[in-house]
Chains A and B, each alone.
Chain A
Amino acid sequence: MRRAIILTALTVALCASALSATTVAYVPIDRSIDLSEAVLVGHVLRMEAAYNADGEIVTRIDLLVEESLKGNVQRGEIFTFDAWGGSLDGVNVETVGEARYRMGQKVLVQLESINGEYHTLGLSFGKWDVSKDAKGKQWISRSLSDLNVVGVNEAPVEKMPLRQMREAVRERPAF
């Protein structure tokens, strides 16, 4: 019996499949910074499903800004942006490849304006989780597994020190 349970658990783990994708064009870090109107570090304060101006379900995310690397946003400000999809009025819309958030999570987001609403650049492409290693060094990491990434000419960056992103933003010309 015990062996059967272990075998079942292993089987389920081996058969578990990744979620599928949305297609984004790969851009290197420097180019992604140019395309971002704001690059913010902060904590997810609130998430709430709503209808956008086109009547589509989105999830409104309030970010308590801890650091503004790019854009006219101040530390301590609550900045609201949208993630595609969500659950509202008995309907669930799952936008494949969209970033997922947790309450209280610390993130770095690269944001662009689409039809007057802010979204992360390339869905989960523009959302980074912020974490600290044992020495207290801050890292940012993102998952591209739900995305179909096209136009790839280099190994996609999925993890880097937060400091490196700060420097990359500083080195980009302001428009």
Chain B
Amino acid sequence: MKKIALFLALSCLASSAFAYTLNGRKWFSSADAKFYLNNSNGPACCLSSSQQSSQITSGINAWGIAGSGGTTTKSGAKRDGQNVISWGKLGGTTLGVTNYISTDTSQSQVCSGNLIYRFVEVDVRFNNAYSWQTSSGCSNGFDLAGVSTHEFGHAVGLGHTNVSGATMYPSVAACDFSMSSLANDDRAGYSAIYSGCQ
């Protein structure tokens, strides 16, 4: 019992050097972590369809385990066998929503001392009524690549950090285009989930 407690304490202290948090879930293989983009119903302003796709894809590719699987016609937060990224109405203030979809057959691993369950399916939806902009001439708009990188950080198993400037920091100003660059804290969090698992 003492050994287990000591192991957990040391694991915790090791991760406390950083401020990242984990949401207790991970992908067990990169094949499961393919995300499929439904680009219909994309926003009319201010990015082209190809800009939307490339910025969302950059958000996916920021995290090693996740990858783009191509396009899909599926949409919504449903158990349909695909991790779907879609556009839709999310109201007046919500920019993007992440949905964790699971069944009763979840499996788990212990990684860096943390018990982590298997992701079954994750769907992400972005608000098509919002003003997604590029850094050039940005006015009160938001960075799709940055928000994507943040949302896919959740979609690979990360929670929030209190390290200001990290991608997983839960607050950013309008026209701030720094969120798409991972900080050391983000990388350490990712490593805690996907390295040293038993």
- Listed in ascending order, the chain A residues whose CB lies under 8 Å from chain B are 1, 3-5, 7-8, 10-12, 14-15, 17-27, 32, 35, 54-57, 84-85, 90-97, 112, 114-115, 119, 121-123, 125, 144-145, 147-153
Given contacts A54-B75, A151-B173, 7 further A-B contacts (CB under 8 A): A7-B6, A25-B93, A90-B104, A94-B102, A95-B99, A123-B97, A148-B170
Q: Contact: B151 with A23, CB < 8 Å?
A: yes
Q: Contact: A17 with B24, CB < 8 Å?
A: yes
- For A150, list chain B residues within 8 Å (CB): 95, 142, 147, 171-174, 176
B92, B97, B173, B176: residue with the most chain A Cβ atoms closer than 10 Å: B92
Question: Contact check: which of B8, B101, B142 meets A93 at CB < 8 Å?
Answer: B101
Q: Contact: A147 with B114, CB < 8 Å?
A: no
Q: Contact: A21 with B94, CB < 8 Å?
A: no
B16, B90, B173: residue with the most chain A Cβ atoms closer than 10 Å: B90
| B158 on interface, CB distance cutoff 8 Å | yes
- Minimum CB–CB distance from B24 to chain A (whole Å) comes to 7
- Minimum CB–CB distance from A159 to chain B (whole Å) comes to 18
Q: Which of B28-36, B49-57, B63-71, B76-84 is near enough to bind chain A?
A: B76-84
- For B90, list chain A residues within 8 Å (CB): 114
- Name B23's closest neighbour in chain A (CB-CB): A20
- Name B172's closest neighbour in chain A (CB-CB): A150
Q: Contact: A121 with B1, CB < 8 Å?
A: no
CA distance A27 to B98 in the complex (A): 21
Given A15-B15, A20-B160, A55-B78: A91 and B103 interface contact (C-beta under 8 Å): yes
- Name A22's closest neighbour in chain B (CB-CB): B97
- Name A91's closest neighbour in chain B (CB-CB): B79
CA distance A145 to B23 in the complex (A): 13
- For A119, list chain B residues within 8 Å (CB): 91
CA distance A19 to B22 in the complex (A): 8
- For A4, list chain B residues within 8 Å (CB): 1-2, 4-5
- Minimum CB–CB distance from A113 to chain B (whole Å) comes to 9
Q: Contact: A114 with B91, CB < 8 Å?
A: yes
CA distance A7 to B9 in the complex (A): 7
| B26 on interface, CB distance cutoff 8 Å | no
Q: Contact: B99 with A84, CB < 8 Å?
A: yes
- Name B20's closest neighbour in chain A (CB-CB): A17
A32, A95, A149, A152: residue with the most chain B Cβ atoms closer than 10 Å: A95
Q: Contact: B93 with A121, CB < 8 Å?
A: yes
| Sample of 10 A–B contacts (CB below 8 Å) | A8-B4, A15-B15, A17-B21, A19-B159, A27-B93, A55-B76, A57-B78, A91-B101, A114-B90, A151-B140
Q: Contact: B171 with A152, CB < 8 Å?
A: yes
CA distance A113 to B21 in the complex (A): 33
- For A24, list chain B residues within 8 Å (CB): 93-95
CA distance A100 to B119 in the complex (A): 22
Q: Contact: A148 with B100, CB < 8 Å?
A: no
- For A115, list chain B residues within 8 Å (CB): 89
| B44 on interface, CB distance cutoff 8 Å | no
Question: Contact check: which of A5, A20, A26 meets B159 at CB < 8 Å?
Answer: A20
- Name A2's closest neighbour in chain B (CB-CB): B1
Question: Contact check: which of B4, B93, B142 meets A35 at CB < 8 Å?
Answer: B93
Given A11-B5, A21-B154, A92-B102: A112 and B77 interface contact (C-beta under 8 Å): no
In the complex, the 6 A-B pairs of residues with the closest C-beta atoms, listed nearest first: A17-B21, A122-B93, A20-B154, A35-B92, A7-B5, A151-B174
- Minimum CB–CB distance from B82 to chain A (whole Å) comes to 14
